Structure 1
Amino acid sequence: MRILRSVGNYIKQTDKIYWLIAIGISAYSLILLHSLPSKSYFSTMIVAVLIGYTGAIIISLIDYHDLAAIWYIIAALCVVLMLYTVKFGGAVTNTGGVNARAWIMLGSTSFQPSELVKIGFMVTFSKHLSVLKERGLLKSPLHVFLLACHALIPMALTHLQGDDGAGMIFFLMFLTMSFGAGIQLRYFVALFAIIAAALPLAWKYVLEDYQKQRMLGAYHLDSTDDSLKDIIWQQKQARISIGSGGLWGRGLNNAPRVKSGMVPEKESDMIFSTAGEALGFIGCCLIILLLFLLLLRTLRIARKSPDLLGSSICMGFFGMIAAQMIVNIGMCLDLLPVMGVTLPFFSAGGSSAACLYFGLGLVENVHMHPMNPTKISILHR
């Protein structure tokens, strides 16, 4: 009886609409993955979703103020994980020049630490922002610079791994959280001016050849240049698949291009093209709608948060989901070059999916713990 009462108390304190949106997203994702010829992606996602929801519930029960209080432990674990991956991680290579060492091999499966580090960054960067606000230092040039250095650490480590797509997401999370915290616009103007000035140097000395080719190829999908043939193949086929679905699609089990494997990474980076061919324009719009509703609800929880720490955590999750959504769909629609960024909650990938639910649990945490230092007990009699 106590267990049922505890469950009831927990449900009363959660944002039930938020959970319902998440469950709708999970169901849609599993339906899409089940329609693929290989069922291994579906099985992996089932496990990831179960782990993710379990972790989300546990995280939501721990007051986010207590989590932020051990920011230094979280930060240290994140750095160690990333450095270990740089040195000992498993690499993914292909003929296009990709050489990303971004996974830790765990027997027959693998784990991508950068996905968990994104959740850690939500906590550590939010703590950094809240401390600066408490001390009245959010307008200090020195401390704004130190905030940028904080964000630069995971960006640099993902670059060393060869995973600049993840680095881009960290950058956009940094921008979103900083903007939400009230950092003055002049600092953003200065940052983008520095980036604009550094672009020629980055093109010459930082970007790999395959990255340059992807940027050039994204806007020349109809090119007959043999040097771009392999580079543009993925986006070209993804665009054709989306268009072939028409308004209602060809059906979950009747999409010929999905069945034949015409689109590389149709289960992960290009899952949006799978939805386009199988379920058409309506299916694609439903994905966007569900994610948009999740983002709106996240902003609502951020707005109601009693402190900057809570609202910044929510803004971090908002920035992560919005960035991945825009970049991934932009890749599939040939609006942006391929960056290896997955569609949140929909793309196959156990570590990515599970960690996204952990982030969702953090946002629920902010909703459930509105007072500090008063703690709300879920398990009261």
Structure 2
Amino acid sequence: MLLKRSLPKIRWKSWVKPWQNVDWLLFCLPVAISIFGGIMILSTELKQPVTDWWWHWMVAGIGVVIALFLSRIRYELLMQWHWVTYSLTNFSLIAVMIAGTSAKGAQRWISIAGFNVQPSEFAKVGMIVTLAALLHRRTASSLEGVFRVLAITAIPWGLVFLQPDLATSLVFGAIVLGMLYWANANPGWLILLISPVVAAILFSISWPLSEPIILFKELSFGPLGIVWSFAMAIVGWQTLPWRRFGCGAIGAWTLNILGGELGVFAWNHILKPYQKARLTVFMDPDHDPLGAGYHLIQSRIAIGAGEIWGWGLFKGPMTQLNFVPEQHTDFIFSAVGEEFGFVGCLLVLFVFCLICLRLLHVAQTAKDNFGSLLAIGVLSMIVFQVIVNVGMTVGLAPVAGIPLPWMSYGRSAMLTNFISLGIVESVANFRQRQKYY
């Protein structure tokens, strides 16, 4: 009799055992965020005949199944197939440029069985796997290792940028920087990597009551850019190995001068008008209140109207009357601010902080560098997207078109986030050797 009573219990344990080391807090928090995101999407579409909220939950359910499946497969298998993953990533990005569908001035989607799939979203996971495998075999403690990573990243990054998809290309940059730092890259080298971008911005800014310095025709240097370039020359002199004859300092200075001028050229000849507007309007949205600044102005009004406790679910006037464009996608956080107030916003950010802390814990406790780097790549992706998305809804960052993970409507983004979660859960699940009976 005792034996018969214990059999169901043994069977239950044997069924659960493949997931016994999964970080369930890390798993449940994104699921909860996804459910809450569907409710907020429903709130933004309550008076419209659309069912994006239902699709949001359905895709999240598929993502949960995929994440559970991936979490019980040994993540080490990804290292054996990382070049295949890299090739498929580049192939998909090339395919979307050839046979993709266009919308809003960009060609980013491929239609498969009536559904629009965005390959650049899945490319984030492909790059995390590829870079984790490369840095596992050779760390970034040498410049050779850093240049190798940058060379591998350059192809998919360039393909994404040419779509054009500036937002995803920025996410690529955040992933690379985070993984290089975790792989023992010198922090000074990382500063030098992003310094040309800063120089490109500063070269167009002049000191008060002064004009840019014009040395040659079509070539000008903003005073702030010159100061920045010399500061980076000091960083290069201190961190780069080529100290003889000041080669490191000269190289860093030249890199920033060229980066600044290329940035000015890109601004004048490459970037689309809507991309320029997104990058600059956050500094003064009232300059174009009915055009590029409309999103930011309406978003700030909605968040401010929520005050401390908010208007309540389905009761926010800005949300219900659709005053905030794209509120179910990029600006979903403004609906949270209006209907749940400052307290609701803090709770959402607290949940994201918990997710990031659990990702960091998995990275620190992984049994090898490959698993640790996978977790850090996902952490870098999530942190950057949350900071930029929340920042742009409150007017502290440019409108970059980056969705809020697990909350914004977007089927490709949702599946990408859950695939990433499943890989990290595999790292957590196989931290110790397990025996199955």
With the length of structure 2 as denominator, give the TM-score of the two structures. 0.80
Question: Residues of 2 paired with 1:87 and 1:284: CA distance?
Answer: 41
- What does residue 214 of structure 1 align with? 278
* Cα shift at 1:233: 0.7
- What does residue 339 of structure 2 align with? 278
Question: Residues of 1 paired with 2:410 and 2:381: CA distance?
Answer: 16
Question: Residues of 1 paired with 2:145 and 2:389: CA distance?
Answer: 33
Pairing of 1:77-116 with structure 2 (within 5 A):
77-93=88-104, 99-116=105-122
- What does residue 186 of structure 1 align with? 188
Counterpart selection for 1:251 from 306, 312, 316: 312
Question: Residues of 2 paired with 1:290 and 1:350: CA distance?
Answer: 22
* Cα shift at 1:28: 1.8
Pairing of 1:1-381 with structure 2 (within 5 A):
4-36=12-44, 37=46, 38=48, 39-93=50-104, 99-133=105-139, 138-195=140-197, 196=199, 197=256, 198=259, 199-223=263-287, 225=288, 229-371=290-432, 376=434, 380-381=436-437
CA contact (8 A) 2:310 2:337 kept: yes
Query: Using CA pairs below 8 Å that are at least 6 residues apart, which structure has the higher relative contact order?
Result: 1
* Cα shift at 1:172: 0.5
Task: Look up the SS of the partner of 2:286 in the other structure.
Answer: coil
Question: Residues of 1 paired with 2:18 and 2:41: CA distance?
Answer: 31
- Does the C-alpha gap of structure 1 residues 45 and 160 become closer, same or farther in structure 2, counting only changes over 3 Å? same
CA contact (8 A) 1:151 1:171 kept: no
Q: Residue type of the partner of 2:158?
A: A
CA contact (8 A) 2:35 2:57 kept: no
The alignment yields a C-alpha RMSD, in angstroms, of 1.7
- What does residue 96 of structure 1 align with? none
* Cα shift at 1:131: 1.0
Question: Residues of 1 paired with 2:281 and 2:196: CA distance?
Answer: 26
Question: Residues of 2 paired with 1:23 and 1:257: CA distance?
Answer: 27
Q: Residue type of the partner of 2:402?
A: V
CA contact (8 A) 2:40 2:336 kept: yes
Question: Residues of 2 paired with 1:10 and 1:243: CA distance?
Answer: 47
Question: Residues of 1 paired with 2:92 and 2:101: CA distance?
Answer: 13
Task: Look up the SS of the partner of 1:279 in the other structure.
Answer: helix
Alignment gaps of 5+ in structure 2: 1-7, 200-255
Task: Look up the SS of the partner of 1:237 in the other structure.
Answer: helix
Question: Residues of 2 paired with 1:153 and 1:255: CA distance?
Answer: 45
CA contact (8 A) 1:217 1:232 kept: yes
Task: Look up the SS of the partner of 2:296 in the other structure.
Answer: helix
Alignment gaps of 5+ in structure 1: 94-98
- Does the C-alpha gap of structure 1 residues 106 and 235 become closer, same or farther in structure 2, counting only changes over 3 Å? same
Residue-by-residue CA offset, 1:166-218 (whole Å, 9 max, x unaligned):
10001101101111111112321321333323133332333222222222221
- Does the C-alpha gap of structure 1 residues 192 and 23 become closer, same or farther in structure 2, counting only changes over 3 Å? closer
- Does the C-alpha gap of structure 1 residues 365 and 205 become closer, same or farther in structure 2, counting only changes over 3 Å? same
Counting aligned pairs with the same residue, the percent is 29
Task: Look up the SS of the partner of 1:84 in the other structure.
Answer: helix
Question: Residues of 1 paired with 2:429 and 2:20: CA distance?
Answer: 9
CA contact (8 A) 1:86 1:161 kept: yes
Q: Residue type of the partner of 2:303?
A: I
Q: Which moved more, 1:254-263 or 1:192-201?
A: 192-201
Residue-by-residue CA offset, 1:207-264 (whole Å, 9 max, x unaligned):
22222222222111222x5xx6311111111111111111111121111211221111
Q: Residue type of the partner of 2:141?
A: K
**Which has more radius of gyration?**
2
Question: Residues of 2 paired with 1:267 and 1:179: CA distance?
Answer: 34
Question: Residues of 2 paired with 1:346 and 1:63: CA distance?
Answer: 28
* Cα shift at 1:51: 1.0
CA contact (8 A) 2:141 2:183 kept: no
- Does the C-alpha gap of structure 1 residues 3 and 49 become closer, same or farther in structure 2, counting only changes over 3 Å? farther
Q: Residue type of the partner of 2:286?
A: D
Q: Which moved more, 1:158-167 or 1:184-193?
A: 184-193
With the length of structure 1 as denominator, give the TM-score of the two structures. 0.91
- Does the C-alpha gap of structure 1 residues 245 and 193 become closer, same or farther in structure 2, counting only changes over 3 Å? closer
CA contact (8 A) 2:106 2:165 kept: yes
Question: Residues of 1 paired with 2:83 and 2:37: CA distance?
Answer: 35
* Cα shift at 1:285: 1.1
* Cα shift at 1:3: 6.4
Q: Residue type of the partner of 1:184?
A: N
Residue-by-residue CA offset, 1:134-164 (whole Å, 9 max, x unaligned):
xxxx333233112112222222111111111
Q: Residue type of the partner of 2:367?
A: P
- Does the C-alpha gap of structure 1 residues 108 and 353 become closer, same or farther in structure 2, counting only changes over 3 Å? same
Q: Residue type of the partner of 1:7?
A: W
* Cα shift at 1:109: 2.4
Could you list the runs of 4 or more consecutive aligned residues of structure 1 that deviate by over 4 angstroms after TM superposition?
none
